[in-house]
Amino acid sequence: MRKEKFSIYKVVILFLPFMIIFTALYAVAEGLYKSRKLASVGYDAVTNDTRYFKIFRHRNSSYTHSLEADIDNFVEIFFNEYEKPFSLTRTDEPILITLLKDDAEFQQYASKELRQDLTFNGGFYNSIKSDIALIMTNPVADKKGLFHEITHAVLDRSAPKAMWSPWLSEGLATYFEESSIASRENYKFGGKKAEYFAFVKDALTRQNGNFLPLKNIIKSQQEQFTSETNTIYYAEAHTLVYFLLEGAGRKYRNSFSKYFLEEKKQGECPPNVFEIEIGNIDEIEKEWIKFILTGE
C-alpha cells in the first residue's frame, strides 16, 4: 500500500510541471486571442460573458444588458422547441459575438476574417471560428440580427459537415429572427417578415417582376445571397420556409422536418430530395404563390 502511494506521488510530481506549463500556455493563448479581438473592435472595447456567448463590443454603444437575456433565452427556447424534430446538438463552447459600430468597421472586419466583400450584408456567422459579427444600429434591429446569425450558429454546430442549401439556411434564419421573446415561458418563436412578403408579392404582380421560380430558389447559391440583388433571394427563401412551416394548415411541417434532417447529413443535399421529402415542386409552387398573394 505504501509503495503504491509512493508511486502515485512520483507520477504526480513528474507530471505536475507539465500541467502547470500547459495551463499557463492556455491562459496566455486565451489572453492573446482576447486582446486581438478587443483590438479589432477598438480601444474602448469591453467583453460580456453570458450562458451561451462571449460578446466583444464598444463601451459606448446601443448595447443593453437586456440583450444578453434575450439571446440566451433564444438559444434555450430554440432547443426546447426543435431539439427533437431537428435533432439539434447542444455544446458548452461559447459562441463569439463581435458587435461593430458602423458599416466601415464591419466591412473591414469581414474582409479580415472572411476575406470576402459583404457590402450588401449587415452581419455574418463564421463557422470556422464560431464567430458572429454584426453592425449595431438600434436595439430592435440588433436583436433581430443576432437571432438571425445565432440560428446559423445553432445549425452549424449541430451539423458541422453539412453544406446547407442557402434557401433553407437563410429562410430559417429570417423566420426565427422574427421571434418575440418576453421570457422563457412567454414567447412566440419564429414569425412572418411582412416586408419580405410584400416584396415577393410585388415581384409576382408587377409587369416584368423578378420573381424566381421555386426550382431556381432551391438551387440558389450562397453568392446570390451576398449580391446586390440579394433581397429577392432572402425574401423568397423566407416566404417559402414560412409557408412550409405555417401555411396550408401546417400540412408540410412534418415533411419539412424530414427534409431538414436530409440537409443535415454530411455534404451537399441533392435538389431532388426536396420532391422526395416534401412533394411535387410544381404543385407546391402553386400553393406557395397562392399563400403569398392571398394568405390562404
Q: Following CA atoms 110, 114, 117, 121 in sequence, which dihedral angle do they give, to the nearest 10 degrees? A: -60
Do the beta carbons of residue 255 and residue 277 sit within 8 Å?
Answer: yes
- At residue 85 the predicted structure's pLDDT band, cuts being 50, 70 and 90, is very high
Q: Report the chain's mean pLDDT, rounded to a whole number.
A: 87
Report pLDDT for 252. Answer: 98
Question: How sure is the predictor about 5, in pLDDT bands with cuts at 50, 70 and 90?
Answer: very low
Give the up-direction half-sphere exposure of residue 224: CA atoms within 13 A in the CB hemisphere: 17
Question: What is the full DSSP assignment across 189-203?
Answer: -S---HHHHHHHHHH
Distances (CA, A) of 44 to 38, 58, 88, 112, 216: 8, 6, 37, 20, 46
Domain map (residue ranges) of the chain: 43-160, 161-296
Is the confidence at residue 124, as pLDDT, over 90? yes
Quick check: 224 pLDDT over 90?
Answer: yes
Question: Of 151, 163, 132, which Cα lies nearest the Cα of 238?
Answer: 151
Q: Is the pLDDT of residue 81 over 60?
A: yes
Q: Does domain 43-160 have CATH number 3.30.830.10?
A: no
How large is the average pLDDT for residues 159-180?
97
Using alpha carbons only, how large is the chain's radius of gyration in Å?
23
Question: How high is the pLDDT of residue 33?
Answer: 47
Q: What angle do CA 112, 74, 231 make, to 5 degrees?
A: 55
Give the DSSP per-residue string, 85-122.
TTT-----SPEEEEEESSHHHHHHHHHHHH----TT-S
The whole model's pTM is what? Answer: 0.84
pLDDT tens digit string along 138-156? 889 999 999 999 999 999 9
Please determine, for residue 284, whether its predicted confidence score (pLDDT) is greater than 70. Answer: yes
pLDDT score at 291: 98
Worst-scoring range by mean pLDDT, 18-27, 74-83, 100-109, 232-241?
Answer: 18-27
Bridge partners for 58 per DSSP:
45
